[in-house]
Amino acid sequence: MSDQLGFSTRAVHAGFDPDLQTGAVNVPIYASSTFAQDGVGGMRGGYEYARTGNPTRAALEANLAALESGTYGRAFASGMAATDCAIRANLRPGDHMVIPNDAYGGTFRLIDKVFTQWGIEYSVAPVSDADAVAAAMRPNTKLVWVETPTNPLLNVGDIAALAEVAHAGGAKLVVDNTFASPYLQQPLLLGADIALHSTTKYLGGHSDVVGGALITNDQEMDAKFAFLQNGAGAVPGPMDAFLTLRGIKTLALRMDRHCDNAETISEFLANHPKIAQVIYPGLPEHPGHTVAQKQMRRFGGMISVRVHGGKDAALAFCAKTKIFTLAESLGGVESLIEHPGAMTHASTAGSALEVPADLVRLSVGIEDISDLLSDIEQALA
Ligand SMILES: *Cc1c(COP(=O)(O)O)cnc(C)c1O
């Protein structure tokens, strides 16, 4: 579907037209691992075996491509499976990649614990400083890996500037767009080569399915992703693909509410005496505010705070909220709170990526703002 159409129109319609036989307006959950052939090699609808391709997954993949204004979309069993595929499609032993100095803990763990065993080298650099990223590149750098905003410190990288830096050094730019979602930011339009998602988060949006995605305009790159989907097999099942598509239809509505609530909460926290620092790209004092304004529609639903009183105060805040549920993950309709140092980012302990002990991360949901504010107020009292 053409990207002349508006974002929400694409979110609702891209990837599937009403079924010719039944008129069903939603793609069926094709619970079939294999597809009958009319004679050897005579595939009826382009499908032979569901690891290679499944119609429900194909509808999701076409939808994901349309959301990112990209040409090709590929769905994976998780965000980490997508990460694994993006790295293996681009790096060989002896190659090097640059990663954020505050990368998602799981991304760091995969690269540091698994890929280094296979001869892949990495350096860390702050995504907010394109010159530092350029300085971290080497002649054998094949990928520059960026999250923006980053998880959990919400640093903002200038995607267009980082694309120039990566390309000048002969590398590809991957943007993990999980925190922004394609509604708020579209990396391919800013020069990135690959947009990556944990669809588990805002795209699925209801904390009921795990998945990942890679979107690109590069046909050769997409062919490598398709080869690895089939060859390594980390694909989502049809029920997961259906749930993710169902979530995507309301992405724009949900994101606007996430942003409304997060803007109000960030201002409330910025004036709270128990809070030492509020990290939210929508606040004018955030160092990445101007870049975020330039490349994002709004500033997202994630807020991190540093609490006066160190780790104990941070843990107490997490323990006392009632509507904000203490849990890992983010991007669902329900508000969540967590302590990155002990939870999502525990794997960074002792490394250059270690997060502050007084840090608390909020995934602001779509509940009534008055209830969310009262909950935070009583938890900090
Ligand atoms: C959650 C997350 C991932 C990993 O995705 P899974 O679906 O949990 O495998 C990758 N990047 C970011 C920024 C994330 O928040």
Q: Are residues 147 and 76 in the same domain?
A: yes
Residues 239 and 335 in one domain: no
Q: pTM for the full model?
A: 0.96
Question: 2 in a domain, yes or no?
Answer: no
Domain stop point among 248, 282, 314: 248
Query: With bands split at pLDDT 50, 70 and 90, how would you rate the model's confidence at 217?
Result: very high
Separation of 75 CA from ligand 1 center, angstroms? 14
Within a 13 Å sphere around the CA of 326, how many CA atoms are in the beta-carbon half?
13
Return the pLDDT at 1: 45
Query: Is the same domain home to 167 and 274?
Result: no
CATH number, domain of 28, equals: 3.40.640.10
Q: Are residues 233 and 313 in the same domain?
A: no
**Same domain, yes or no, for 221 and 317?**
no
pLDDT confidence of 3, banded at 50, 70, 90?
very low
Question: Over the stretch 146-168, which tens digit does the pLDDT of each residue have?
Answer: 999 999 999 999 999 999 999 99
Same domain, 292 and 188: no
Catalytic residue, from 172, 201, 254, 361: name it: 201
Per the prediction, the chain carries an average pLDDT of: 96
Which atom of ligand 1 approaches the CA of 81 most closely?
9
Query: Is residue 14 within 6 Å of ligand 1 at its C-beta?
Result: no
Of the listed 84, 102, 176, 222, which one is catalytic? 176
pLDDT of residue 318: 97
Domain with 72, as residue range(s), is 7-248
pLDDT per position as a tens digit, 291-336: 999 999 999 999 999 999 999 999 999 999 999 999 999 999 999 9
Residue nearest to atom 4 of ligand 1 (CA): 79
Reported as a pLDDT band with limits 50, 70 and 90, residue 45 is confident
Is any ligand 1 atom within 6 A of the Cβ of residue 108?
no
CATH code for the domain in which residue 297 is found:
3.90.1150.10
Q: Decide: 104 in ligand 1 pocket, CB within 6 A.
A: yes
Give the number of C-alpha atoms closer than 13 A to the C-alpha of residue 211, restricted to the C-beta side. 31
Average pLDDT score over residue span 353-371: 95
Q: How many CB atoms lie within 10 A of CB 160?
A: 17
Is 95 one of the annotated active-site residues of the chain? no
Return the DSSP state at 356.
Answer: P
Binning pLDDT at 50, 70 and 90, where does residue 346 land? confident
Is any atom of ligand 1 closer than 6 Å to the C-beta of 79?
Answer: yes
Work out which ligand 1 atom sits closest to the CA atom of 80.
9
Ligand 1 atom with minimal separation from the 178 CA: 13
Ligand 1 atom closest to the Cα of residue 330 is: 15
Residues 211 and 317 in one domain: no
Among 43, 48, 45, 145, which residue's Cα sits nearest to residue 104?
145
Distance CA 381, CA 370 (A): 16
- Tell whether 1 is covered by a domain: no
Q: What pLDDT digit, counting tens, does each position of 65-106 carry?
A: 999 999 999 999 999 999 999 999 999 999 999 999 989 989
Of 218, 248, 278, the domain-final residue: 248
Same domain, 270 and 336: yes
Angle, alpha carbons 75-81-85 (nearest 5°)? 85
pLDDT band at 60 (very low <50, low <70, confident <90, very high): very high
pLDDT more than 90, % of the chain: 92
